[in-house]
Amino acid sequence: MDRVAGKVALITGAARGQGRSHAVRLAEEGADIIALDFVGELETVSYPLPTAEDLAETARQVEALGRKVVTTEADVRDGAAMRAAVDECVAKLAAPDILVANAGIFTVGLFADLSEEDWSETLATNLTGVFNTVKAVLPHLPDGAAIVLISSLLGLVGANETGHYSATKHGVMGLMKTLAIELGSRGIRVNTINPGTVPTPMVVRERVFKMYCPDLEAPTEEDFKVSSEQNNLLPTPWVEPRDISNAVLFLVSDEARFITGESLLVDAGFYTK
């Protein structure tokens, strides 16, 4: 219960889904938490985005574990805003030893149908947002810190209707490799986690069901689960947020002290299949 005891973890996209799960899991193992997320609307995103109440609930769950937590609303697309938010949170709590760049959006559409807005908003959030996050946090990171960038299975492969999303997640992989090289002399380890399908609000919705089941006129969640499971080696339609959080915990703990520049797939065997 103390694999990251005495450390501070800064997590983006922490209001719900995987981000909240990462915050809670690291808190269970002794870390204090800086939790950031965007609260508002994005033009190209049709599913509901996190609310201030969601971010407050993350804080409540961390505090219930007896850990300290600082939250703030921040847009990873805005470099200046991210620097101000990170500086403010560090002043309130402490400099982070762990960075988990988790914030992202997931919209789908055939490449021929994508608008410039679809492309630019996904790029700004999923790739430039990671750049802005690392730039804002890096001046505070001590030697020996750990960085985990959340990429995706689609950072290693392509898939129908995901050209813009897949491009950003491939970009995160390249950024991780470069950061691992540049920061290695300081003992800062940089890795990615590449999740497969995870049942969060941005995935479990009708538009994604249709992407997975294009031959069905009105696919249901059960149709989606059946189709998704057929893609995996292991008998499950998806991996849970906590499965990704357990991988985060491993990579930021001393158990992974000599692991850097690597991508860790948590995908129930999709990539191998």
pLDDT class of 28 with cuts at 50, 70, 90: very high
Tell me which fold the domain 8-198+240-266 belongs to. Answer: Rossmann fold (3.40.50)
- The Cα–Cα gap between 225 and 176 comes to 31
Catalytic residue among 47, 165, 212, 271: 165
pLDDT surpassing 80 at residue 239: yes
- Chain segment 134-165, per-residue pLDDT in tens: 999 999 999 999 999 999 999 999 999 999 99
pLDDT value at position 270? 97
Tokens encoding 70:
């600082």
φ, ψ of residue 3 to 5 degrees: the values are -70, -20
Q: Beta strand 98-101 with 8-12: parallel, antiparallel or unpaired?
A: parallel
Considering the entire predicted model, what is its pTM? Answer: 0.97
Query: Are the CB atoms for 39 and 73 separated by under 8 Å?
Result: yes
In this prediction, residue 1 has a pLDDT band, given cuts at 50, 70 and 90, of: confident
212 part of the active site: no
Identify the pLDDT of residue 3: 98
Strand (E) positions, 38-106? 69-73, 98-101
Please give the Cα distance from 197 to 143 (Å, whole number). 34
**How far is Cα 198 from Cα 267, in angstroms, rounded to an integer?**
9
Mean of pLDDT values over 242-263: 98
Specify the pLDDT at position 15: 98
- pLDDT for 173 beyond 90: yes
- The CA-atom distances, in angstroms, between 133 and each of 187, 194, 221 are 19, 18, 34
Answer for the pair 100, 156: CB distance below 8 angstroms, yes or no.
no
Asked if residue 93 has pLDDT above 90, the reply is yes
Indicate the pLDDT class of residue 218, thresholds 50, 70 and 90. Answer: very high
Mean pLDDT for the chain?
97
Residues 239 and 140: their CA atoms lie apart, in Å, by 33
Q: Where are the alpha helices (DSSP H) in 66-205?
A: 79-92, 116-123, 129-137, 163-183
Q: Is the pLDDT of residue 35 over 90?
A: yes
Residue ranges of domains in the chain: 8-198+240-266, 204-237
